């Protein structure tokens, strides 16, 4: 899952990027409102953490512009402003959650997980798809109750497909959500990771839809795809 972090405090930005990366997310950063607006308007993010007191363009204005342009990714406002009127302004601009500074990093991670699972239609941090169980809080995967050891990129790929269960996801979309903006992206690596996941899980769990991409679904639940 790919996160945009818009925060002008460089120390806090580095701390949060490390925490989010350690939690298994791909993280892009911006240090001002103009850069943040541009990235959020041109790149596909699964969620955004947005400071309000940004240079060049205020966070509320950034969020208003995104929503006006039809950008629907969930947004968590992160700010030192804790007055009720600031919270109302943020929610009215289109925010999905609000966290006032100072805060605990674990709380921020929990709120991000909640935003992502609500956007995907899941009620808890445990995702169950047939024999597959994914604990998004612990980044742990089991199959038929047995633990499955995955690399970081394998887990990211599986988690993204799981959050889009039953939907066909293209290689391009997977690449965009698996690697940050500075990475040399190669869609051919997706096929390699899918092959590894099929060996570690049920080989029919991730289905190939010819010419379109991949779909994660319980085998036999759909006749649109072939493994």
Determine the distance from the C-alpha atom of residue 82 to the mean position of all C-alpha atoms in its chain, rounded to a whole number.
26
pLDDT at 33: 95
pLDDT above 90: residue 24: no
Question: H helices of the chain, where?
Answer: 10-22, 33-42, 59-68, 84-93, 105-120, 152-163, 171-178, 188-200
Q: What percent of the chain has pLDDT over 70?
A: 91
**What is the rounded average pLDDT of the residues 44-61?**
93
Mind listing the pLDDT tens digit for each residue in 176-203? 888 766 555 566 788 889 999 999 998 8
pLDDT at 130: 87
Tell me the pTM: 0.76
Tokens for 88?
A: 């109302």
Can the peptide bond before residue 155 be classed as cis, meaning omega within 30 degrees of 0?
no
- Tally Cβ neighbours within 10 Å of residue 32: 16
Can the peptide bond before residue 102 be classed as cis, meaning omega within 30 degrees of 0?
yes
All structural domains of the chain with their residue ranges:
2-120, 126-216
- Choices 3.40.50.300, 1.10.20.10, 1.20.910.10, 1.10.10.10: CATH for 126-216: 1.10.10.10
Sign of the torsion formed by the C-alpha atoms of 199, 204, 205 and 209: positive
**Superfamily name and number for 2-120:** Response regulator (3.40.50.2300)
pLDDT at 221: 55
- Same CATH fold, 126-216 and 2-120? no
pLDDT at 223: 45
């Amino acid at each position: 899952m790919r996160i945009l972090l818009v925060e002008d405090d460089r120390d806090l930005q580095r701390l949060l990027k490390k925490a989010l990366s350690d939690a298994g997310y791909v993280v892009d950063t911006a240090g001002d409102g103009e850069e943040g607006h541009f990235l959020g308007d041109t790149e596909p993010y699964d969620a955004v953490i947005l400071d309000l007191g940004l240079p060049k363009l205020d966070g509320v204005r950034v969020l208003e512009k995104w929503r006006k342009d039809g950008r629907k990714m969930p947004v968590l406002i992160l700010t030192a402003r804790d007055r009720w009127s600031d919270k109302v302004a943020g929610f009215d601009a289109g925010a999905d959650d609000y966290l006032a500074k100072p805060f605990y990093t674990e709380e921020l991670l929990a709120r991000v997980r909640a935003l992502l699972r609500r956007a995907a239609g899941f009620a808890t941090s445990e995702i169950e798809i047939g024999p597959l169980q994914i604990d998004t809080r612990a980044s742990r995967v089991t199959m038929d109750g047995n633990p499955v050891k995955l690399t970081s990129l394998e887990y990211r790929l599986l988690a993204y497909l799981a959050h889009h269960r039953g939907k066909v996801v293209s290689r391009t979309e997977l690449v965009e959500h698996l690697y940050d903006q500075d990475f040399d992206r190669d869609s051919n690596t997706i096929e390699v990771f899918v092959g590894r996941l099929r060996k570690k899980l049920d080989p029919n769990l991730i289905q190939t839809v010819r010419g379109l991409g991949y779909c994660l679904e319980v085998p036999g639940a759909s006749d649109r795809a072939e493994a």
